[in-house]
Amino acid sequence: MTQTTQPIQQAAAIVARAHRLTALVGAGLSASSGIPTYRGPGGLWTRQRPRQGAPPLLSYQEFVRDPAAWWQARLAAETDPSHPIYQMKQAVDQAAPNPGHLALAQLEQRGILHCIITQNVDNLHAAAGSRAVLEIHGNRNRLRCLQCHRRTPRNTQTPQNPPQCQQCNGLLKLDTVMFGEPIPPDVLQACRQAAEQSDCMLLVGTSGTVNPAARLPLLAKENGATLIEINPEATPLTPWCDLSLTGPADAILPQLLNSI
Ligand code: APR
């Protein structure tokens, strides 16, 4: 009787042979750190689907229309326990890296994972020890200047309203990319290059529904990469994948690490 190789073992063999392994990560990886997803079962947009476009305070147009008013409303929302922004901030403030984040950091430390492209803004990859992380949707702990793109830690924010860049006096916003905001060109270029150069890409906990991130696996595939999806559910990216590991990333990634 031929021994059927388990999908985890198949994936481990592919990953072990890869020369430039990348991972495209979505909210599903942080789900077991207590941070709600957006579109999965019980996700933020699943529960409170944005009626007309983006929910309040998450729209780029709203921000550029009146930055001072936006910052004032944002700071008020962050101290109002009844506001969804307060509740999300609490969840992320209290979140810690889970075994999935730690396994990705281990894969990097062992020289197997070349870089992570994350859609998450929760800083949990850095907290887990990952260093090669491209944050395509920004990072909640940083501010970004709209003029010179300089990024600074949010806790150094001046009391000015709206806060201004100390390098060029440009307008500062949260580094987190908002609905309708273009992805900063520097990080988008780096993500595209990482995808083009990878020969294997793990798709971890993403619904594969938000561009340009969702196009990166296809760009990798066009350049010959093998795609391995890690998700309890099928997604629009599943048909493009060579292998699907069905289940939670915080269980599957450590199993994958231990099988290499
Ligand atoms: N392990 C792996 N995957 C999981 C887990 C888990 N424990 N729990 C849920 N998932 C999967 C869901 O099945 C779903 O496919 O994670 C995915 C989460 O999808 P989304 O909530 O759409 O998150 P994401 O793909 O990261 O969204 C992309 O949309 O709103 C914007 O900027 C936001 O970065 C976000 C982007």
pLDDT tens, per residue, the chain with 260 residues: 445 579 999 999 999 999 999 999 999 999 999 999 988 676 777 766 655 566 778 899 999 999 999 999 999 999 999 988 998 999 999 999 999 999 999 999 999 999 999 999 999 999 999 999 999 999 999 999 999 999 999 987 777 889 999 999 999 999 999 999 999 999 999 999 999 999 999 999 999 999 999 999 999 999 999 999 999 999 999 999 999 999 999 999 999 999 99
| 244 occurs within a structural domain | yes
**Residues 10, 73: one domain?**
no
| Close Cβ partners of 12 (under 8 Å, ≥ 6 residues apart) | 256, 259, 260
Same domain, 71 and 136: no
Per the annotation, the verdict on 125 as an active-site residue is: no
pTM of the model: 0.95
> Which residue CA neighbors atom 3 of ligand 1 most closely?
205
Q: Render the burial of 176-215: b for 16+ CB within 10 Å, e for the rest.
A: bbbeebebbeebbeebbebbeebbbbbbbbbbbebeebbe
Q: Rounded CA gap, 229 and 246, in Å? A: 8
Confirm whether 249 is domain-assigned.
yes
Total domains in the chain come to: 2
User: Which is the catalytic residue, given 101, 114, 125, 137?
Assistant: 137
Ligand 1 test: best mutation among 101, 174, 207, most atoms within 8 Å of CB? 207
Cβ within 8 Å of residue 136, ≥6 positions away: 117, 118, 119, 177, 183, 187, 188, 191, 212, 213
Q: Is the same domain home to 135 and 191?
A: yes
Give the long-range contacts of residues 214-223, CB within 8 A, separation 24 or more.
216/24, 216/117, 216/191, 216/192, 217/24, 217/241, 219/192, 219/195, 220/22, 220/195, 220/196, 223/195, 223/196, 223/197, 223/198
Looking at the fold, whether 118 and 231 belong to one and the same domain comes out as: yes
Tokens of 209: 């529904």
Domain, as residue range, for 83: 44-94
